[in-house]
Amino acid sequence: MGKIYNIFSTSENSPKDFSLEAANELVPLLRRYTDEAIQETQKVALKMEYLGKETPQFKTLSKAHDQSIIRWAERVHRLGGLAKGLWTVDFDNGKGFLCWSHPEDKIEHFHSYDGSFKTRTKLGEQAIETKKPAKGSSTGTSRGDAKGSSKGSTPTPPQPQPGV
C-alpha cells in the first residue's frame, strides 16, 4: 500500500516535482474531482439545513459531508497534489508551489514554500520548470518540508510580466 498523505498538510512534502505543463495536464481531472465533491457536499448540506444539530440524522449527514471532502483530498494526493484548502491544490515544482483553485481552467499562479493562497502571484509567460541537478552534482537543495527549510534562502516567486 502506498503512503497516506496528511490531508491539508502544510508540512508534508508533495510526492513529486511538477513542471507547469505536467501540472496543467491534471487540471481536467482536478476539475472533475472537485465538481463531483462540490455536488456531493452541496446535496448533503441542503439536507442538513432542515435538521437540528443534535439529531442523529444531522450527525450522520455531517460525517458524510466530511467524508466527501476527505475523499476529494485523497484523490488530489493520488495525483501528486497537496490539498491546501477547500478546493485549492498546490503542486511542488522544486522552487515553490504551482497553485490551482476551483474553478480555474489552468494553473496560472505560484507561491513560495513560505507563501500561501493569499500570497500567490500570477505566472508570467515563462513556465517555471523544475531543474534537476546533473548526476553527481550537489547543487540541489533539500526542502525538508513544504515551508522550505533550506537554510538561509527563500525561493523568490516569479514576477508578473507587464501587459500579461
46 is a domain residue: yes
134 is a domain residue: no
Q: What is the pLDDT of residues 9-19, one digit of tens each?
A: 545 555 568 99
Q: What is the pLDDT of residues 8-51, one digit of tens each?
A: 554 555 556 899 999 999 999 999 999 999 999 999 999 999 99
40 is a domain residue: yes
107 is a domain residue: yes
5 is a domain residue: no
Q: Which three cell numbers stand for residue 99?
A: 497553485
Task: State residue 123's pLDDT score.
Answer: 93
Residue 143, pLDDT > 60, answer no
52 is a domain residue: yes
- Asked if residue 37 lies in contact with residue 68, where contact means CB atoms within 8 angstroms, the answer is yes
149 is a domain residue: no
Candidates 84, 108, 102; CA nearest to 20 is: 108
Q: Which three cell numbers stand for residue 30?
A: 482536478
- CA–CA distance, 160 with 164 (Å, rounded to integer): 7
**In this prediction, what percent of the chain has a pLDDT beyond 90?**
64
List Cβ neighbours of 11 (8 Å cut-off, separation of 6 or more): 145, 146, 147
Domain extent for 38: 20-115
Whether the model clears a pTM of 0.85, i.e. scores above it, the answer is no
**What is the count of structural domains for the chain?**
1
156 is a domain residue: no
- CA–CA distance, 5 with 151 (Å, rounded to integer): 25
